[in-house]
């Protein structure tokens, strides 16, 4: 493990980034030097590096660094929860479709085709538009848009496994389908799903930021990196850093997950499944 990370500094840095964001989210109340919502003083739009305000202040005089610490919470919660939900449902759908085949497979996969007929971010936008803003609805919207990706992946893998000897043996042994799916097939398809899940965390974080940026996600004054970019954009000509700084945090967090996903793909030797 250590030698693997030592040989790949990019991956080590990526895991460190994820750990730091997680720590920032958990310990935001302790780490943040100022209140995330109340103005820290009368100085507005201070540039990064101003005394007492490492990342400056925003147009309401709030300390940007403190809002970045607190803003780590929604991004972590939403991206992880959405992926867990999407994996859970997608895994079940794919497993059933791939193992049972026939009309069950047909119906489930055509259903997934319908979801995939929309550009995924647009689908997420329409779902939050229907459900209303807020963290839970954002999680649902992102999860729904990602379910078909896992369902297709698991279906392809499960269908391949279902023809193998150990499954035929289990069938001959008279085990019920549910048991065969859960005990025999599921453990054998989990590797590629983990890889896909790690890249999907990146996508979910991007979607969450985009929904907030559009004003459909986390609502102000709750600190959120995506919304901070939106607020900053209004003052782009006065102080570009207000919009650019929070975006750098999103980009770094997402890049880290993408590098982690790539590394897992190499380590678990996952071949592309279409």
Q: Is 244 in the site for other proteins (CB under 8 A)?
A: yes
Please tell me the count of residues contacting other proteins according to CB under 8 A: 48
Query: How many other C-beta atoms can be found within 10 angstroms of the C-beta atom of residue 110?
Result: 9
Closest separation in Å from C-beta 172 to other proteins? 29
Spatial neighbors of 61 by CB under 8 A, at least 6 apart, are 39, 40, 41, 42, 43, 44
Q: Is 247 in the site for other proteins (CB under 8 A)?
A: yes
Closest separation in Å from C-beta 211 to other proteins? 10
**By CB under 8 A, what part of segment 204-223 binds other proteins?**
206, 209-210, 213-216
Closest separation in Å from C-beta 35 to other proteins? 26
CB nearer other proteins, residue 171 or residue 255 = 255
CB nearer other proteins, residue 100 or residue 111 = 111
**What are the Cα distances from residue 29, in Å, to 61, 153, 178, 246, 247?**
19, 40, 46, 19, 22
Q: Which of 100, 160, 262, 273 binds other proteins (CB under 8 A)?
A: 262
Burial status of residue 102 (CB atoms within 10 A of its CB: 0-12, 13-18, 19 or more):
exposed
Q: Is 202 in the site for other proteins (CB under 8 A)?
A: yes
Q: Is 273 in the site for other proteins (CB under 8 A)?
A: no
Q: Is 180 in the site for other proteins (CB under 8 A)?
A: no
**By CB under 8 A, what part of segment 9-48 binds other proteins?**
10
Backbone phi and psi for residue 130, each to the nearest 5 degrees, phi listed first: -75, -40
**By CB under 8 A, what part of segment 91-110 binds other proteins?**
110
Cα gap 86→197, rounded to integer Å: 9
Q: Which of 127, 143, 162, 189 binds other proteins (CB under 8 A)?
A: 127
Closest separation in Å from C-beta 265 to other proteins? 11
Q: Which of 54, 84, 115, 273 binds other proteins (CB under 8 A)?
A: 115
- Chain residues in the site for other proteins (CB under 8 A): 10, 110-111, 113-115, 117-122, 125-127, 129-132, 202, 206, 209-210, 213-216, 226, 229-230, 232-233, 236-237, 240, 243-244, 247, 250-251, 254-255, 257-259, 262, 272, 274
């Amino acid at each position: 493990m250590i030698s693997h990370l030592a040989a790949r500094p990019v991956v080590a840095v990526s895991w460190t980034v994820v750990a730091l964001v997680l720590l920032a989210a958990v310990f935001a109340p302790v780490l943040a030097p100022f209140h995330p919502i109340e103005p820290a003083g009368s100085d507005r739009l201070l540039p990064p590096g101003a005394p007492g305000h490492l990342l400056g202040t925003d147009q309401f005089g709030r300390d940007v660094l403190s809002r970045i610490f607190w803003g780590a919470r929604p991004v972590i919660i939403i991206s992880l929860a959405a992926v867990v939900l999407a994996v859970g449902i997608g895994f079940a759908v794919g497993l059933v479709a791939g193992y049972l085949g026939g009309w069950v497979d047909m119906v489930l996969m055509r259903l997934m085709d319908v979801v995939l007929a929309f550009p995924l971010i647009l689908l997420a936008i329409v779902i939050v538009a229907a459900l209303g803003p807020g963290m839970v609805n954002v999680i649902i919207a992102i999860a729904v848009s990602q379910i078909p990706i896992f369902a297709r992946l698991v279906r392809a893998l499960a269908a391949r496994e279902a023809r193998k000897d150990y499954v035929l043996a289990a069938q001959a042994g008279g085990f019920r389908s549910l048991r065969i799916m859960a005990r025999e097939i599921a453990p054998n398809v989990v590797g590629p799903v983990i890889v896909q899940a790690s890249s999907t965390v990146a996508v979910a974080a991007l979607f969450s930021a985009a929904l907030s940026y559009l004003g459909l996600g986390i609502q102000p004054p709750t600190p959120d990196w995506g919304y901070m970019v939106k607020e900053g954009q209004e003052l782009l000509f006065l102080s570009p850093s207000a919009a650019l700084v929070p975006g750098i945090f999103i980009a770094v967090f997402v890049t880290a997950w993408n590098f982690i996903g790539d590394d897992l793909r190499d380590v678990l030797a996952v071949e592309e499944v279409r």
